[in-house]
Amino acid sequence: MSYRGDMPSGFSWFRIVLWSILGLCVIVPSYVVWSILPDLSDPSDEFYQRKGLLQSIDIEREWQDGNSIFRRITLHSNSGLKVKMTTRLPQKRSAQGYPLVFILGGLRTGCEAVHQVSQQQPIVLAAISYPHHDEWAREGMKSIDVRQYQQSVRDTVPAVLLALDYLLAQQSVDKQQVELVGVSLGAFFVSIPAALDQRVTRTWLVHGAGEPEKVIAHKLKGRINVTWLRKLVAWAGARLIAVKSLRPENWLWRISPRKLVFINSKDDKELPLTSVAALHRSASQPYEVIWTEGQHINTGRTEIVQGLVDIIMHRVQTTR
């Protein structure tokens, strides 16, 4: 007697096992990915909570160079957030204070960005390093910790907000001219603190773009040649580091009516022009777009760096 005669046509235990395995191959990875994705539909409250209140300040080093006083400090919030920052202040005091230019640059540049601007400029200059960057540099990639990467990304905005609290409490700062400058990777992040903190009077996005998934896919060209696979990897990477709610085109409109300036290069090979255009379209008036020649900014391209610095510093000194 055979049980196969009692089974529906085409039935086999092999098919049950096969479809069960295939189902698990879809369900398990989907659950794992979903479980590690943070809920950041509106992260504003999380940013403020993580920023917390400035609890203490460690001055790690202070020195004078020419007419400027440099300080390398670490800010400590009562939330546990730590922010490493370098400031440069004119030695000569001013009754009304000096314009503040606060830079969030590339990952490697960090707080060293203050050294890219001439000391002859009568401004207060500050730059921060990305949260936890020192830990990554010291420990290296010992393990894949997605949540720790997510925390690094999410801590960047609160770090800028905490640094602004400290800087705007300084008597040497003119509270009527607060310039927030995001450069390259920094241009991705600064639109959020600029939108949330009304004390920022003008925001600069230098060599930035929107649509992070497309930017990641663009950077993967030459490494992953299959188009659909490259796009899938870019989408998954963007989801894993929770950039959807952080994408600048979701925030830029909130900066209005304060000033916003884009500086982009016509010859930038590291950013797709469609994503640059998407960033510009997302802004509300008043805003300005400045197109320049040359490649994407990095510290090794000194002429490009100096040209961009000159544009920004001229505006800082002549317009408010």
Predicted confidence (pLDDT) per residue in 44-88, tens digit: 888 999 999 999 999 999 999 888 899 999 999 999 999 999 999
Tens-place pLDDT, residues 136-181: 544 444 445 566 667 778 899 999 999 999 999 999 999 999 999 9
Q: Give the integer Cα–Cα distance in Å for 5 and 14.
A: 16
Choose between 36 and 231: higher pLDDT.
Answer: 231
For 94-123, the pLDDT digits (tens) are 778 899 999 998 777 778 888 878 767 889
Number of domains in the chain: 2
Q: Of the candidates 132, 260, 149, 144, which has an alpha carbon nearest to the alpha carbon of residue 195?
A: 260
* CA–CA separation, 134 and 279 (whole Å): 30
**Does residue 224 share a domain with residue 80?**
yes
Of residues 106 and 124, the one with the higher pLDDT is 124
The predicted-structure confidence for 247-289, as pLDDT tens digits, reads as follows: 888 899 999 999 999 999 888 888 889 989 999 999 999 999 9
Q: Are residues 204 and 58 in the same domain?
A: yes
**Is the domain of 29 the same as that of 108?**
no
Q: How far apart are CA 265 and CA 268, in angstroms?
A: 5
Neighbours of 71 (CB within 10 A): 16
User: What's residue 58's pLDDT?
Assistant: 95
Residue 182 tokens read as: 């995001």
DSSP assignment, residue 78? Answer: T
pLDDT at 236 over 60: yes
Q: How confident is residue 241, by pLDDT bands cut at 50, 70 and 90?
A: low
The answer on 10 and 100 residing in a single domain is: no
Per the structure, the complete domain to which residue 7 belongs is given by 1-36
CA dist., res. 183 & res. 265, Å (int): 12
pLDDT confidence of residue 238: 74
Same domain, 249 and 114: yes
Q: Do 6 and 81 sit in the same domain of this protein?
A: no
**Element housing 89 (H / E):** strand 82-90
Q: Give the residue with greater pLDDT, 251 vs 318.
A: 251
213 with 192, same domain? yes
202 and 217 inside one domain = yes
Give the per-residue pLDDT at 73. 95
Determine contact, residues 270/296, Cβ cutoff 8 Å.
yes
For residue 26, the SS3 value is helix
Residue 46 and residue 111 in one domain:
yes
Neighbours of 320 (CB within 10 A): 13
State pTM to two decimals: 0.80
What lies within 8 Å, CB to CB, of 66 at 6+ separation is: 119
Same domain, 90 and 77: yes
For the chain, the 3-state helix, strand and coil shares in percent, each to the nearest 5, are: 45, 20, 35
If asked whether residues 176 and 273 sit together in one domain, one would say yes
Q: Return the sign of the alpha-carbon dihedral for residues 182, 186, 189, 193.
A: negative
Q: In this predicted structure, what is the pLDDT of residue 142?
A: 47
